[in-house]
Each structure stands twice: as structure tokens, then as C-alpha cells.
């Protein structure tokens, strides 16, 4: 792969996505065999997280270590960012420290692009505002592929707070590019303008949306959304939009449930579904490390293979 940064699924070609997924598949096998690699020996990977995250950050750091990179994490709460340093200045500092890859998460959409344009290091977007979360979509793609072999023609239903979800955007674009049929489902108050422009169907009735689904992706409900009057109560949400065993009966045989985590049991997903045989939640975590190893490896070493 010949590119400096991975900022979003919408910037990637289908060939690049396939390259990342097939590399990730190799990485996953390596993880299962308990092996490590030296592909990033001597390289420096820095995680720069302006938003709290445990799983994504740990996953990137584990991925980098599995490849032999040295890893440093900048926690915004204790860094010079607290002293008022701008993102551009922080980026230049990391560059001067010899960082090869910066993994950034930020609450403002487009921040990773601003950073990428002012540093020589490669930049990986680990989530920017409501915009994209490419590594999450790629790990979802890997999980689906490993389960089905091929997701071409599969029906994907993403349900929940589509309006405020970067996972929804990245997933919708990625599964669309892989040939799946994507439906997004939410009350109108949680649907963004023009979401159908991303090539997906829109359905507000979850019982209709889920019929025949191969892949169901409930999004995490952020409880603070109730303050903005986006929906009424947790109880009503679960009744109309929760993924339950009963609803799974409407899905295709062999369907899977994926969730970006962390889950709210009994809210967007029933506990027995999360623990049930259709759940890929634990599988997703391991695949997350594999996908992030592939992203790091291809960005740093991609040119050498051409």
C-alpha cells in the first residue's frame, strides 16, 4: 500500500481495503499461533488520544508491540496540551521526536487531516468526531469475512444513534464497498441528513429492518443523548431498537451480531444476545489487534513491497 495516512474508509480504494483485510487475516493467524513479528523494529508509534478510550488505544499499542515497535502514549490530560499547545504544534513536536506513526483520536471531525498535513509521520485516525473510525470498520469487515468467507450480497443492519456515530459512517461505507447491502435503522431524531447518500437504505422500524439480516450492528447508546431530547427513555429504546433473541429469529440463519463496544447490556443489546452464539463481540477484539497490525505494517513497510 502506497499512502502516508489512513484517515477514513472513504479515502481508501476497494483494492486497499482488500489488501488491509488480507494482511490482517495473516496477522490474525499469527496471533492465534502466539507468534510475534519484527516488522516494525526500530520504529516509533505514538498514540495521541484527545478523547478517552481504553480498548482502541490498548489495541493499537498491543498491535504495535506485536510488530516490535517502540510505543509511547501521550495522554492529553497530562501533556503540554493541557498547557494550551495547539494540535499543529503537538504534531510538529512528535515529528521532531522521530515518531514514525501517530495514532490520533479527537472529538473534532477532520482533526486527523489537520495533523496529517503538518507532519511527516504517518497518521492513523482512531476516531475523529462524528466522522470516521476506520480501524473499527476494518475489524468489523475482517470479522464478517472470517465468518462468511465473503460479504458480497450480505445484508448488514446498523441500528442505533446513527446521527452521532462515526462507526456507523465508516461501517456503512466499508460494507457498501465490499458489496453488502447496508440498512441503517434509528428513530428519525437519530438519523443524520442525507445518510442514504452513503448508499444505504434507511428504515425506522427495526422489526422490518432486521428481516433477513446477516450482520446486525447495534451501536452504543450514549445516555447523555436523552438530555438533548433525541429519544425518550432507555426502556422505550430497548423495546423498539434493542437487539433481542426474539428479533434474531427474524434474521438469516447463521447471522452474526457485532458491537463496537463497550456494550450497555439490556439497552441496545440484550445480555443473552451478547453472550450468545451469534455474538462476535470477543472475536472482534482479537481481530481489532490484527487489523491494526496490518494498518501499521502496510503504512510503514508498504512502499518496500511495491
Partner 1 sequence: MILLKHATVVNKDGMQQSDVLIDEGIIKLLAPNIEYPSAEVIDCDGKLVFPGFIDMHCHLRDPGQTHKEDIESGSAAALAGGFTTICCMPNTVPPLDNPAMVGYVRQKSDKAGNADVFPVGCITVGQKGVELCEYGKMKQAGAIAVSDDGVPVSSGAVMLNALKYAKTFNIPLLSHSEDKSISAGGVVNDGDNATICGLRGIPRSAESAAVARDVLLAEEAGARIHICHVSTAESVDIIRAAKARGVQVTCETCPHYFGATDDEILSYNTNAKINPPLREEADVQAIIDGIKDGTIDVIATDHAPHSFDEKNVEFDYAPFGTVGLETAFSMAYTYLVLTDTIKPSDLCRLMSYEPSRILGLNDRGRIEQGARADIVIIDPDAEYVVDAAEFKSKGKNSLFDGWRLNGKITQVIVKGELKSL
Binding residues for partner 1, per CB under 8 A? 10, 86-88, 106-111, 113-114, 128-132, 166, 169, 192-195, 197-198
d(CA 58, CA 66): 12
Of residues 21 and 159, the one with the C-beta less far from partner 1: 159
Closest separation in Å from C-beta 48 to partner 1: 13
Closest separation in Å from C-beta 75 to partner 1: 18
Closest separation in Å from C-beta 272 to partner 1: 33
Of residues 15 and 193, the one with the C-beta less far from partner 1: 193
Of residues 22 and 86, the one with the C-beta less far from partner 1: 86
3-state secondary structure the chain: CCCCCECCHHHCCHHHHHHHHHHHHHHHHHHHCCCCCCCCCCCEEEEEECCCCCHHHHHHHHHHHHCCCEEEEEEHHHCHHHHCCCHHHHHHHHHHCCCCEEEEEECCCCHHHHHHCCCCCEEEEEEECCCECHHHHHHHHHHHHHHHCCCCCCEEEEECCCCCCHHHHHHHHHHHHCCCEEEEECCHHHCCCCHHHHCCEEECCHHHHCCCCCEEEECCCCHHHHCCCCCCCHHHHHHHHCECHHHHCCCCCCCEECCCCCCCECCCECHHHHCCCCECHHHHHHHHHHHHHHHHHHHHHHHHHC
Of residues 67 and 116, the one with the C-beta less far from partner 1: 116
Copy the grid coordinates of residue 59: 489495541
d(CA 261, CA 139): 12
Of residues 117 and 272, the one with the C-beta less far from partner 1: 117
Closest separation in Å from C-beta 129 to partner 1: 5
Closest separation in Å from C-beta 197 to partner 1: 5
Closest separation in Å from C-beta 1 to partner 1: 23
Of residues 195 and 296, the one with the C-beta less far from partner 1: 195
Of residues 53 and 244, the one with the C-beta less far from partner 1: 53
Of residues 131 and 279, the one with the C-beta less far from partner 1: 131
Closest separation in Å from C-beta 118 to partner 1: 9
Closest separation in Å from C-beta 16 to partner 1: 19
Owner of C-alpha cell 481504553: 54
Asked if residue 233 lies in contact with residue 222, where contact means CB atoms within 8 angstroms, the answer is no
Amino acid at each position: 500500500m502506497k499512502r502516508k495516512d489512513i484517515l477514513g474508509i472513504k479515502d481508501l480504494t476497494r483494492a486497499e481495503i482488500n489488501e488491509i483485510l488480507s494482511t490482517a487475516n495473516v496477522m490474525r493467524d499469527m496471533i492465534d499461533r502466539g507468534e510475534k513479528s519484527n516488522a516494525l523494529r526500530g520504529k516509533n508509534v505514538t498514540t495521541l488520544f484527545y478523547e478517552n478510550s481504553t480498548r482502541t488505544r490498548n489495541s493499537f499499542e498491543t498491535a504495535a508491540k506485536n510488530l516490535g515497535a517502540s510505543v509511547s502514549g501521550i495522554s492529553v490530560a497530562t501533556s503540554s496540551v493541557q498547557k494550551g499547545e495547539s494540535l499543529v504544534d503537538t504534531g510538529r513536536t512528535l515529528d521532531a521526536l522521530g515518531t514514525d506513526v501517530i495514532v490520533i483520536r479527537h472529538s473534532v471531525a477532520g482533526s486527523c487531516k489537520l495533523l496529517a498535513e503538518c507532519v511527516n509521520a504517518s497518521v492513523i485516525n482512531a476516531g475523529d468526531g462524528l466522522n470516521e473510525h476506520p480501524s473499527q470498520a476494518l475489524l468489523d469487515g475482517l470479522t464478517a469475512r472470517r465468518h462468511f468467507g465473503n460479504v458480497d450480497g450480505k445484508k448488514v443492519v446498523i441500528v442505533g444513534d446513527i446521527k452521532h456515530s462515526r462507526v456507523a459512517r465508516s461501517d456503512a461505507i466499508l460494507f457498501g464497498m465490499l458489496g453488502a447491502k447496508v440498512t441503517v435503522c434509528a428513530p428519525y431524531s437519530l438519523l443524520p441528513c442525507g445518510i442514504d447518500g452513503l448508499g444505504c437504505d434507511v428504515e425506522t422500524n427495526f422489526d422490518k429492518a432486521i428481516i433477513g439480516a446477516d450482520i446486525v450492528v447495534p451501536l452504543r447508546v450514549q445516555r447523555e443523548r436523552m438530555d438533548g431530547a433525541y429519544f425518550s427513555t432507555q426502556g422505550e429504546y430497548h423495546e423498539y431498537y434493542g437487539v433481542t433473541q426474539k428479533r434474531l429469529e427474524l434474521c438469516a440463519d447463521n447471522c452474526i451480531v457485532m458491537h463496537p463496544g463497550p456494550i450497555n447490556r439490556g439497552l441496545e443489546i440484550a445480555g443473552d444476545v451478547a453472550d450468545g452464539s451469534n455474538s462476535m463481540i470477543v472475536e472482534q477484539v482479537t481481530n481489532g489487534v490484527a487489523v491494526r497490525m496490518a494498518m501499521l505494517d502496510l503504512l510503514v513497510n508498504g512502499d518496500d513491497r511495491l
